């Protein structure tokens, strides 16, 4: 798997917007003076009259997007995850969530892998914040193919959607045209000893971990849970029944993200041992993305360690 192609999902976002823009004249894109970084410049180049730079004023951008949605347009409001989910939270909640408007939020540069930008930009709280907003769909793609499919699905979905994209290039694990449906996870590898439920860049790490575990006779199931809300509860329960042990892996705080969503389902419907891999109750710090991911335990090696301990 060392030769696998790598693409940053923020690049996938820009590409998908441009493709959809050619099909749908009601699609508009807003950005907060970050078109080059969020890759909405790809859309801007193709459709300059439908791209709106709102400046470094994310809260205002969200309100502009809300207003546009009331006219029948489908706005994709784009900025870094820290500013989309953090700085503009009140506007997302009150101006988009409360009236349940058809606004899509494209949040790039999520998680520790923002790297050298440091703790102020490494948003590891966005899943938790967005999950609490009633009616908000929350997603995080594993690779380029899933990212583009998510953008298309978001456009077709009626209601608010939050999608987190990454800065770092990640391996492409899906075939072109792989199906995607909001609220549905996918089994990448079947197994019976332990189930690893992951999303974002941790999905690839989970696949690699499963290959390593197989060398020690541990048969791990791998599930890509691209949609955090609504969660595919049936697939979570199926994994628990088959394996009896669950590991969740995400580039997000262990508080409020995928791990807690999985634990909530299991605690009510099928109590099962769970180990959550993510960022513990701490802030990140500046450094190369790859080194930070290793330091915070967001790696296949750490998944292997946790799985072996659970399977003793």
Asked if residue 116 has a cis previous peptide bond (ω within 30° of 0), the answer is no
CATH number of 186-310, picked from 3.40.50.920, 1.10.3720.10, 3.40.50.10490, 1.20.1260.10 = 3.40.50.920
pLDDT at 307 (0 to 100)? 98
- The structure tokens 């009633």 sit at 134
Asked about 58 being catalytic, the answer comes back as: yes
Rounded to the nearest 10°, the torsion over CA 236, 269, 192, 226 is: 10
CATH number of 6-171: 3.40.50.970
Instruction: Please tell me which residue in 58, 125, 205, 260 is annotated as part of the active site.
Output: 58
Domain segments of the chain: what residues? 6-171, 186-310
User: What CA–CA distance (Å, rounded) separates 211 from 9?
Assistant: 24
What is the pLDDT at residue 4? 82
Q: What is the DSSP pairing of strand 74-80 with strand 137-139?
A: unpaired
pLDDT, position 108: 97
pLDDT of 274 reads 98
| ∠ CA 2-295-126, rounded to 5° | 95
Same-fold call for 6-171 versus 186-310 = yes
pLDDT in tens, 88-137: 999 999 999 999 999 999 999 999 999 998 999 999 999 999 999 999 99
Residues ≥6 apart with Cβ < 8 Å to 106: 13, 17, 38, 40, 76, 77, 78, 84, 151, 163, 165
Report, as ranges of residue numbers, the positions in the chain whose pLDDT lies below 50.
none
């Amino acid at each position: 798997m060392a030769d696998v192609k790598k693409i940053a999902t923020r690049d996938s976002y820009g590409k998908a917007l441009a493709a959809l823009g050619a099909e749908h004249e009601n699609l508009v894109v807003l950005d907060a003076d970050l078109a080059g970084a969020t890759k909405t410049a790809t859309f801007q180049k193709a459709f300059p009259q439908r791209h709106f730079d709102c400046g470094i004023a994310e809260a205002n951008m969200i309100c502009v997007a809300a207003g546009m949605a009331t006219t029948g347009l489908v706005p994709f409001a784009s900025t870094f995850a820290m500013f989309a989910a953090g700085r503009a939270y009140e506007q997302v909640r009150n101006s988009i969530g409360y009236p349940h408007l058809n606004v899509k939020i494209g949040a790039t540069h999520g998680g520790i892998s923002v790297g050298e930008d440091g703790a102020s930009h490494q948003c590891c709280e966005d899943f938790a914040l967005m999950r609490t907003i009633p009616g908000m769909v929350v997603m995080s793609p594993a690779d380029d193919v899933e990212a583009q499919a998510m953008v298309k699905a978001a456009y077709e979905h009626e209601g608010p959607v939050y999608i987190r994209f990454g800065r770092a290039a990640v391996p492409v694990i899906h075939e072109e045209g792989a199906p995607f449906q909001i609220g549905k996870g996918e089994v990448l590898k079947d197994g019976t000893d332990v189930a690893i439920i992951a999303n974002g860049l941790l999905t690839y790490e989970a696949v690699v971990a499963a290959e390593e575990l197989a060398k020690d006779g541990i048969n791990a199931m791998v599930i890509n849970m691209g949609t955090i809300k609504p969660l595919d509860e049936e697939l979570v329960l199926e994994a628990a029944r088959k394996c009896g042990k669950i590991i969740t892996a995400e580039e997000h705080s262990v508080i409020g993200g995928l791990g807690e969503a999985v634990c909530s389902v299991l605690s009510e419907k099928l109590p099962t041992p769970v180990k959550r891999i993510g960022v513990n109750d701490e802030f990140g710090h500046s450094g190369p993305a790859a080194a930070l991911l290793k330091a915070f335990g967001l790696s296949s090696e750490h998944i292997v360690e946790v799985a072996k301990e659970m399977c003793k």
